[in-house]
Amino acid sequence: MSAAGDDGPGKDAPAAGTLADAAALEALFLASPYIAGLGIRVEAVDAAAGRVAASLALRPELERAAGSGQFHGGAIAALIDVAGDMAVAVGLGGGVPTNDLRVDYLRPATGARLVATATVRKLGRTVALADVEVASAGVVATPGLGPTPQARAVMLEEFGIDLAGHRAVPFDPDTDADLVLALDRWVQDRVEHTPFAGRVLLLGDFAGSPGEEVDDPYGGTDEEYRLTARQVDRLVRAIVDRLDGGAAVPS
């Protein structure tokens, strides 16, 4: 995408360099009712690299067709537009309007949420250019991405675990691991379609609860985060008990 000028959120924009903080960048853009209504969130900011990661959680009103589990192309384009503008805004100190946007849709976008990673390629006096890549957060993680505030709060409250130092690491199909445990069938399918040579099972299957999937609570309530954390804890404990008891593991 390319952009020039000044956009709605940036009319009284702060000075360049003050938007390197994810919270400040998000606050600036969420002043737009449209962006706030979509629910786009800032995940990570790397001012030095001119890179911003922004996410969008799937809701029924964003689906291509009811019950499809696929994001509508318009919602994806909006995420691309906003993420690119955010990356430019970090360098300029405020949002700018888009004057050209091209989107190549390579495959249906599914999963609980999408992450758009925008990188500024040119930051000129009148025109800026940014490349934006969009992928499901289920398999492709933004390197260095931290947990959401809700995840941190719930894990600390429920289990006394501080996730402050936790950072996302992308899945590497060349890993030496011989087993990958997926939380849901969608992620399981995505991993199975990579060059990974090992086994790919559901966490539920491995725990002795065939077919049980774990929903991504992203974009949900604190209670949904809490229920997900308890579900994962229950399944992991079941795996430990099975292994301690010498039970055969699923193949």
* Per-residue pLDDT tens digits for 145-180: 778 888 999 999 999 999 988 887 778 889 999 999
CA torsion, points 166, 213, 77, 123, in degrees to nearest 10?
A: 10
Q: Choose between 249 and 199: higher pLDDT.
A: 199
CA-CA distance, 97 to 48, in Å (whole number)? Answer: 22
Identity (one letter) of the amino acid at 95? Answer: G
Residue 4 confidence (pLDDT) above 70:
no
Residues 195-216, mean pLDDT to the nearest whole number? 93
Q: Which residues pair with 45 in a beta bridge?
A: 52
pLDDT value of position 15: 43
pLDDT value of position 209: 95
Helix, strand or coil, per DSSP, at residue 88: helix
Residue 2 confidence (pLDDT) above 50:
yes
Identity (one letter) of the amino acid at 157? Answer: E
- Which of 14-23, 36-45, 120-129, 138-147 is predicted with the least confidence, judged by mean pLDDT? 14-23
Q: Choose between 14 and 133: higher pLDDT.
A: 133
Q: What is the chain's mean pLDDT, rounded?
A: 84
- Which of 24-28, 45-49, 92-96 is predicted with the least confidence, judged by mean pLDDT? 92-96
- Which of 6-15, 31-40, 162-171 is predicted with the least confidence, judged by mean pLDDT? 6-15
pLDDT tens digit sequence for 86-108: 999 898 877 788 888 999 998 88
Residues 106-113, mean pLDDT to the nearest whole number? 79
pLDDT value of position 196: 92
Q: Determine contact, residues 154/181, Cβ cutoff 8 Å.
A: no
Identity (one letter) of the amino acid at 115? Answer: V
pLDDT tens digit sequence for 213-233: 998 887 678 898 999 999 999
Q: Token match 């308890």: residue?
A: 230
Residues 187-215, mean pLDDT to the nearest whole number? 91
CA-CA distance, 21 to 90, in Å (whole number)? Answer: 9
Closest CA to 144 of 42, 20, 44: 44
Residue 12 confidence (pLDDT) above 50:
no
Could you give the percent of the chain with pLDDT greater than 70? 87
Q: What is the CATH number of domain 149-244?
A: 3.40.50.2300
**Domain boundaries, given as residue ranges, for the chain:** 2-136, 149-244
Angstrom CA distances, 73 to 110, 111, 141, 189, 239, stand at 11, 14, 21, 22, 40
pTM value is: 0.59
Instruction: Report DSSP letters for 125-162, one per residue.
Output: SS-EEEEEEEEETTT---TTPPPPHHHHHHHHHHH---
Q: What is the CATH number of domain 2-136?
A: 3.10.129.10
Residue 33 confidence (pLDDT) above 90:
yes
* Contact residues for 113 (Cβ-Cβ < 8 A; gap 6+): 55, 56, 57, 58, 136, 137, 216, 218, 219
- How does strand 113-123 pair with strand 51-57? antiparallel
CA torsion, points 129, 133, 137, 140, in degrees to nearest 10?
A: -120
Per CATH, 2-136 and 149-244 having the same topology is answered: no
pLDDT value of position 14: 42
pLDDT value of position 239: 94
